[in-house]
A = this chain, B = another copy of it.
Amino acid sequence: MRTYHGTVTVPAAEITVEECASTSRCVEADLGFALGVLSRRYQKMASRVLSDVPGGARGYLVLTSASTQEPRRQLTLAQDLGIDRTVMTYLLDDLEQAGFVERRPDPADRRARLISVTEDGLGLIDRTVNCLDAAEDEVLGALPAQDRTVFRDMLQRLTAAATEAE
């Protein structure tokens, strides 16, 4: 198998929508391409915010999820989030070392660990949430306020269906 070097970034795209419609087809009209562009743009913005969070976006995902319920076992947390259990180990290593989560032995099963978020962890979540909201608004900036809600709603419906279909 070949290996590829470098990365795909946003193309120059001096092609307008009109030209696009006139030719048989252009990449910018491609749904997957557009989703990728937007997704990467958000990730790029969010990565600045999430640089404070060990494990980046996934570390944040774990942190917020762990903060919403009673302490869960490590494996349960991994399954709930669809994260491989070996990855969860590394993520929690970093989060724990930074003092944002705690691993305590489960009194009911000494093999298992219960994951809880520390005060510092909660503080980090609070600080991060606001920044992410700002990033979302900027990504959706090209849309008027009421359209943003529509877009979010449609996206929600689509991902819900996607999750079911999984």
Complex Cα gap A31–B156 (Å): 9
Determine if B38 and A42 form an interchain contact, defined as CB atoms under 8 angstroms apart: no
**What is the size category of the interface that chain A forms with chain B?**
35 or more
Determine if B12 and A79 form an interchain contact, defined as CB atoms under 8 angstroms apart: yes
Interface of A: prevailing SS: helix
Determine if B154 and A87 form an interchain contact, defined as CB atoms under 8 angstroms apart: no
The verdict on A23 contacting chain B, using a C-beta distance below 8 Å, is yes
Number of copies: 2
Kindly identify which residue among B8, B9, B25, B150 contacts A154, using a CB–CB cutoff of 8 Å: B150
Complex Cα gap A30–B23 (Å): 36
Binding site for B on A (CB under 8 A): 2-13, 17, 23-39, 41-43, 46, 55, 57-58, 61, 64-65, 68, 79-87, 90-91, 93-94, 129, 132, 135-136, 139-143, 147, 150-152, 154-163, 165-166
CB nearest to A155 among chain B residues: B34
**10 further interface pairs, Cβ-Cβ under 8 Å (given A11-B81, A151-B151):** A5-B86, A6-B83, A8-B81, A10-B162, A10-B166, A13-B163, A32-B136, A34-B156, A35-B42, A37-B162
